[in-house]
A and B are shown apart, each in its own frame.
Chain A
Amino acid sequence: MTFTISLYAALCIFAGGILCKTYNWFRISVGIHGQDTSPGQRLLSALKGILSMLTSKKIINLGRAFFFDVLLQNRLLQASAYRWASHMLVFWGFTLLLVMHALEAVIMEPLISDYASTQNPYLFLRNLGGLFVLLGLAMMIFREHLTVPAKTKRSGADIAILVFLGVMLVSGIFLEGTKITSKTRFLEMVEDYSDEDDPRAIKALEYYWARYYGLASDTDFPKDDSRLLETGKDIHEMSCASCHARPQWAFMSYGFSKLLRPIARDLDRAGGTIFLWYMHFLTAFAALALFPFTKFLHLLATPLSLLANAVMDESSSDPANIATKQAIELDACTHCGLCTEVCSVEMAFRAIPNPNIFPSEKIQKLRSMAVGGNTSHQDAADMLQGLYLCTNCHRCTDICPSGINLQSLWFYVREAYLLKIPEPLVLTFFSFYRGIKQELLGPDRFHRPLKAVRKALNASLDTGIGTTQTIELNEIDRQKKNLLSKSLRGSSLSYCFTCTTCSSACPVTRVVDDAPGELGLVPHQIIRAVNLGLVDIVFRSEMLWSCLGCYLCQDACPQGVRVADILAELKLMAANQVKGHLQKRGEKEDLE
């Protein structure tokens, strides 16, 4: 009764959860694609895409990906042989148990006419499956404890899936072990499967089973009664042997039952078998119910991601399908952390402690933000910073065992965020990649984030200086100048005698007709302005943001002023200024 109710309850939650998740895959859009497409339209686009794929040559790619990437997990093998081995053990061991044990009523029984779970090879294979899973789990736990770098901390969700599997497996093995020893179970089986009702005959059978089948009998049998044994054997061969292999074949449970022997009888009387049975099926049903809401979902989402990426070419795909694929990819991430291990800029985390720099943490956070609804300004800013601190080197995408096109995900999610909030990092060379890829964005989407961050920078500056006609030098705050002149790159500042050589050497000033109009200040004016303490007007000038860092100015300076290095330091100061300004503004907005 409890079994049936909990099974159906779990199935209902499972089905509802899967439905809900699937709906989310067609609803959530994390990048710039599919923003104005309804879930229904996206479903239609997906069906259209799948249909045209199935009728094209791409179906070969699909088949190949299913065999090599899904079944054999080739991508994981390429990334790490150890992880592949542990994952394959769990995956195939669990599949074996699922087919031959959990789903035996719907798979094995209809398929095999005289199927009995106690027969070989099933008895043996189930234990083999269990051994595989346990070995795999042990390898995973061993690796977690010894080798995982501190930067990819395991989350509760990562541990939960291992705990669930472990409890399911161990309780199953214990259950089978106690059943081997259980007299209660023995009597039930005699009742169910044999026609014997003569107590003496049952005694003989019990004697035989206690001797050879691991039963922990509580009857006081003589030590060596060959006649009784012979009788027991006859009954056994008549009623049991055809359906029940020796329990030694269930090598793990049998081993456990051996350990159990001293307390087996007490355990049987106390209902140990029933307790373990409850524990086993309740854990399994809980896992089933939680499947859509936990890391178990990767069993569904990861193959989908692998298959979708094997057949989709984003340059020619329907944008709605890219949005759907990216929503699935969020669930396909198993938080294995391989991407973070190879990330080109992971070192930046040591100085900029934003966990979203790490790809593995970024995608997890992105998922929780995508389903979580309201996002605080700080969360959004941290996410965008993590997204922008990326050199687009493709390593994360190359290694991802789930086949997630991470680089494309970062690119489009970054652009979606850039349309919402200004990002100081836009002012750095990280922007080169979006410059090269600007045809994917169009002129408006490309230029808007650049304008937004300059606007935010200007808003952070002292409004009077640089906009009024006269500047009262005694009112100038020289704090920024002092900061600059004490910095590693700014110390040569005061040697400048404004000879203008730097400005003549600058290749930017040479391609501009109206320098004051287009650039605001030219290099020597920048140095002069800083020396006067007027750093804010430098931040406002176009020249600072058009500086190439080509070092011609610095090379030409007769005074040894490190002009280009000073400009680099000024850019850094401006980025910090706008970062601080945005943070304050964001905090205020969050409060409101």
Chain B
Amino acid sequence: MKRIAIQRCCSTPVLLKQYETSTDSVLRRLGVEPVDIQNFGCCGYPLRTFDLEAYLACSAKNISLAEKEGLQVLTFCNGCYLSLRQAYHYLKNDDNVKAGTNAILAQDGLVFRGTTEIVHLLHFLISIKEKIHDSITSHLKGLKVATHYGCQLMRPREVVDFTQHKPPLFFDELVEITGAESISWAAKQDCCGAPIYGLNPDISTRLLVKKILNAKEAGASLLCIACPFCQLQFDHVQHRLLAEGRLDQGLPCILYTQLLGLALGLDEEALGIQKNKIDLTWIKDFL
């Protein structure tokens, strides 16, 4: 069984436990053991605009811990993905930055070498698509899905794993493996608004509504997500907008690991469909 170090997002334990449980369950079904490294902490993402040294130390700590174990780092969060990849990029390409960060890591007996790789869950899954294909037990026929890649999975190009996955169709491919149809829509590349939901909820929700309306117009009956913050925006915040009457008709959203989990016939409790705020129980009719 392949072992891979998993960088969990700090917001999932409280707000989105189902993303953790569904990811673990999907990976195990596909023969991959997600390893929780003790002492893995925050990736440093929120510190990027406050203290660069602190951000790099947080990211580099996790990377170096994984290196010590000789494991790749897999993350299901676009924020962690950007954060770790960008830190890796700076540390690898700037000797001063590397020396400074390593001086901090040395206090905990750690060192950044730059010998591991940071992969996003979707990149990892597309690399074993044949295996997924063979493991599918039931197809979700007739389901029209709009894929939302999320910004930091795609950009900035010098940091993310871009060249390998250009043009960005891998998420659509992953959705279609489950039997669902991935539709094309104009606002696919846009941001969901989550990064500024705590700062400027007004503009943030405008971005969200624009995406929802556009996906509906394009004929989607479901949004598929692979980032906790995007999911919280599409699920929690959309649910709030619907409750407050600021949005007439919603568009349900599903985490990719939940969608794939359904097609793999995984345990419902692990997938946590009933934990989503916007009702998704109808999806079983498509199985």
A positions within 8 Å CB-CB of B? 343-348, 350-352, 391-395, 398, 407, 424-436, 438-439, 450, 488-489, 507-508, 511-512, 542, 545-552, 554-555, 562, 564-565, 568, 571-572, 575
**Inter-chain contact B197/A432, CB cutoff 8 Å:** yes
**Inter-chain contact B41/A555, CB cutoff 8 Å:** no
What distance in Å separates the Cβ of B150 from its nearest Cβ neighbour in chain A? 9
Interface of A is mostly: helix
* CA distance in complex: A392, B232 (Å): 15
Interface hits, B5-41 → A, CB 8 Å: 10-11, 13-15, 41
Give 1 or 0 for each of B45-78: 1 = CB within 8 Å of chain A CB. 1111111111001100100000000000000000
Please tell me which one of the listed residues B10, B45, B155, B198 contacts residue A555 in the complex, with CB atoms under 8 A apart.
B155
What distance in Å separates the Cβ of A545 from its nearest Cβ neighbour in chain B? 6
**Inter-chain contact B201/A351, CB cutoff 8 Å:** no
- Known contacts: A350-B54, A351-B53, A429-B46. The answer to whether A343 contacts B41 by CB under 8 A is yes
Which residues from chain B contact A552 at a C-beta distance below 8 Å? 151, 155, 189-191
* CA distance in complex: A345, B47 (Å): 10
Which residues from chain B contact A545 at a C-beta distance below 8 Å? 196, 199-200
- Known contacts: A350-B107, A351-B54, A432-B194. The answer to whether A427 contacts B11 by CB under 8 A is no
**Inter-chain contact A551/B14, CB cutoff 8 Å:** no
B positions within 8 Å CB-CB of A? 10-11, 13-15, 41-42, 44-54, 57-58, 61, 79, 90, 94, 97, 104, 107, 151-152, 154-157, 189-191, 193-201, 203-204, 206-207, 210, 229, 232, 236-237, 240
Which residues from chain A contact B240 at a C-beta distance below 8 Å? 439
Please tell me which one of the listed residues B104, B156, B157, B199 contacts residue A546 in the complex, with CB atoms under 8 A apart.
B199
**Inter-chain contact B200/A546, CB cutoff 8 Å:** yes
* CA distance in complex: A552, B193 (Å): 13
Please tell me which one of the listed residues B46, B97, B190, B200 contacts residue A428 in the complex, with CB atoms under 8 A apart.
B46
Please tell me which one of the listed residues B13, B151, B194, B198 contacts residue A395 in the complex, with CB atoms under 8 A apart.
B13
**Inter-chain contact B107/A508, CB cutoff 8 Å:** no
**Inter-chain contact A575/B201, CB cutoff 8 Å:** no
**Inter-chain contact B57/A425, CB cutoff 8 Å:** no
**Inter-chain contact B155/A348, CB cutoff 8 Å:** no
- Known contacts: A392-B10, A550-B151. The answer to whether A431 contacts B199 by CB under 8 A is yes
* A345, closest chain B residue (CB): B42
Please tell me which one of the listed residues B10, B51, B54, B193 contacts residue A548 in the complex, with CB atoms under 8 A apart.
B193
**Contacts A392-B10, A429-B45, A511-B210 given; 19 further ones with Cβ under 8 A?**
A347-B42, A347-B58, A348-B42, A351-B104, A391-B42, A424-B50, A426-B199, A427-B49, A429-B198, A439-B240, A488-B94, A511-B206, A545-B196, A545-B199, A546-B199, A546-B203, A568-B49, A571-B49, A575-B50
Q: Which 4 A-B pairs have the closest CB atoms?
A: A431-B198, A435-B198, A551-B155, A391-B10
* CA distance in complex: A127, B37 (Å): 44
* B195, closest chain A residue (CB): A548
**Inter-chain contact A348/B199, CB cutoff 8 Å:** no
Q: List 15 A-B contacts (CB under 8 A).
A: A351-B54, A424-B50, A428-B46, A432-B194, A432-B229, A435-B197, A488-B94, A542-B200, A548-B193, A549-B151, A555-B155, A555-B157, A562-B156, A564-B155, A572-B48
